[in-house]
Structure 1
């Protein structure tokens, strides 16, 4: 992807709807903050029909649907996605993350690495699904989709 396109189509801010968030653990809050920081540092986010950014994104849940409110120069649109295709992946991701966080405290490096590989694989699968679900609405690269999936999970975390 050309650097020019990355500069023209990027997020400058990301906000999670406070009403969609629940109290979370320290690990989950840290994961959320890292995802937002990394997302803002490097992303490719090109809404269909927008000439250029930068864009502001607000994410939330409404009636178990993902709501993406996107604003940019001459562009303002709300995208609503069903989360049904993500349910199994989100559930599995939570389970493997919980095991991973426990392993960090109590397991061998080999066990931690195995869990981390599984976690990354599941994360990639969900990110590719997100890219597919956003097709015709918003184009992203895989790293941006990965960070967005982390934030989708953040909207589901229950402390």
Structure 2
């Protein structure tokens, strides 16, 4: 189980290697994604809080990256954070998500990306529920739920 200290170590010293890599040009991504998906995942955008019904859905299932379909999160780790974005306590594997120090907008945060294709997912914070205290705050647009 990942802890905040693990996240900080990855953000500062490097991430675990992914199981595979998917690399495409921006033009290739533009051809595969909607305008909103491209803006959020490739240009590090953020969807409006509470804009997705995914925030309030807690049905069993798995969530994959909208860009490369890498398995990222399990609904068993999803919780209601009240933040306006889907929130999870853990990724499915320690190497599914990559961590990057983000100093944009006058803040210091930890950005999360798909470790396979570098798609921007959101940020992780140390204010989640026990036992690990993590909150992966994810743009719903960057995810696809498998049924």
Does the pair score TM above 0.5?
no
| TM-score normalised by the chain length of structure 1 | 0.27
| Structure with the higher helix share, 1 or 2 | 1
| TM-score normalised by the chain length of structure 2 | 0.29
